[in-house]
Amino acid sequence: MDQAVDAAPADEALMLAWAGGDLAAFEALYARHRGPLFRFLLGQVRDRPLAEELFQDVWQRVIGARAGWRPEAAFGTWLYRIAHNRLNDHWRALRHRPSAPVDAERRTLEVADPDTPEGLAHREEATARLHEALAELPDEQREAVLLRLQRELSLEEIGELTGVGRETVKSRLRYAMDKLRARLER
In a domain, 104, yes or no: no
pLDDT at position 4 over 70: no
pTM: 0.55
Q: What is the pLDDT of residues 23-78, one digit of tens each?
A: 999 999 999 999 999 999 999 999 999 999 999 999 999 999 988 888 888 899 99
Weakest mean pLDDT among 27-36, 76-85, 135-144, 177-186: 177-186
Q: Are residues 95 and 117 in the same domain?
A: no
Confidence of residue 152 (pLDDT cuts 50, 70, 90): confident
In a domain, 105, yes or no: no
CA–CA gap between residue 158 and residue 161 (Å, rounded): 5
Residue 178, domain CATH: 1.10.10.10
Q: Are residues 122 and 185 in the same domain?
A: yes
Boundary residue ending a domain (99, 124, 139): 99
Q: What is the pLDDT of residues 102-115, one digit of tens each?
A: 888 887 777 655 56
Do residues 67 and 19 make contact, with C-beta atoms less than 8 angstroms apart? yes
Do residues 37 and 79 make contact, with C-beta atoms less than 8 angstroms apart? yes
Q: Are residues 185 and 123 in the same domain?
A: yes
Q: Are residues 85 and 119 in the same domain?
A: no
Average pLDDT over residues 176-180: 92
Give the domain extent around 45: 8-99
Confidence of residue 2 (pLDDT cuts 50, 70, 90): very low
Count CB atoms within 10 A of the CB of residue 176. Answer: 23
Q: Are residues 117 and 166 in the same domain?
A: yes
> Residue 35 carries which side chain, given as an amino acid letter?
G
Share of the chain above pLDDT 90, in %: 56
In a domain, 118, yes or no: yes
pLDDT at position 182 over 70: yes
HEC-encoded secondary structure of 159-179: HHHHCCCHHHHHHHHHHHHHH
How many residues does this entry show for the chain?
A: 186
Q: Are residues 15 and 45 in the same domain?
A: yes
Tally of domains in the chain: 2
Residue 175 pLDDT: 94
Residue 111 pLDDT: 66
Residue 35, domain CATH: 1.10.1740.10
